[in-house]
């Protein structure tokens, strides 16, 4: 299975355009958070509308998995923790998102949201525990030196066991 993992596009429309052009070469696109940019001068609600249109186009090209990042949080749940309510709307496009688990081939994917507090963290722990009976590939949202892969165009902070080709 060929997977394309992207994150932190932060409402960069040229990057979304690139993603649309690259997506057909992959069996699944995993969008690991931060589709939106909370620091942008573009209204958050307008960003959501535009990103949903890109996701609709993307889902017509390949399978898509979308998990939220801290820049995607648009509301608070009843317990007061920040959530990305808008991401749940993309399920109608056939996109697996926060809280979902799905199997592609013989691989189980569990989609974990960005968590803002102890209640959401507990829900994620419960979700992963339930999914653990199958073969699990966790999509970590918080990348860094301890992650298997973490790179930008100017630096690489991941595992030395991964070969990079730019």
User: pLDDT (tens digit, 9 = 90+) per residue, 116-151?
Assistant: 889 888 888 888 888 876 554 555 555 444 444 444
Task: Place 155 in a pLDDT band, splitting at 50, 70 and 90.
Answer: very low
Q: Which fold has domain 3-138?
A: Purple Acid Phosphatase; chain A, domain 2 (3.60.21)
DSSP the chain: --EEEE---TT-HHHHHHHHHHGGGSSEEEEES--S-TTSSS-HHHHHHHHHHHHHHHHTTSEEEEE--GGG--EE-TTS-EE-GGGGGGGGGT-EETT-EEEETTEEEE-PPP--SHHHHHHHHHHHHHHTTS-EEE--SS-STTSS--B-SS-B-S-TTS----
Tell me what pLDDT residue 161 has: 42
């Amino acid at each position: 299975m060929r997977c394309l993992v992207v994150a932190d596009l932060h409402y960069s429309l040229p990057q979304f355009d690139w993603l649309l052009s690259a997506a057909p070469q992959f069996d699944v696109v995993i969008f690991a958070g931060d589709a939106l940019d909370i620091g942008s001068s573009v209204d958050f609600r307008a960003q959501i509308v535009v990103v949903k249109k890109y996701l609709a186009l993307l889902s017509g090209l390949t399978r898509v998995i979308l998990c939220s990042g801290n820049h995607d949080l648009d509301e608070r749940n009843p317990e007061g923790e920040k959530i990305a309510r808008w991401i749940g709307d993309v399920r109608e496009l056939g996109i697996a998102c926060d809280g979902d688990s799905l199997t592609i081939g013989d691989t189980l994917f569990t989609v974990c949201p960005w968590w803002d507090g102890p209640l959401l963290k507990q829900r994620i722990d419960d979700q992963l525990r339930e999914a653990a009976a199958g073969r699990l590939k966790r999509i970590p949202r918080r990348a860094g030196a301890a992650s298997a892969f973490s790179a930008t165009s100017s630096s690489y902070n991941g595992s030395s066991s991964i070969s990079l080709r730019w």
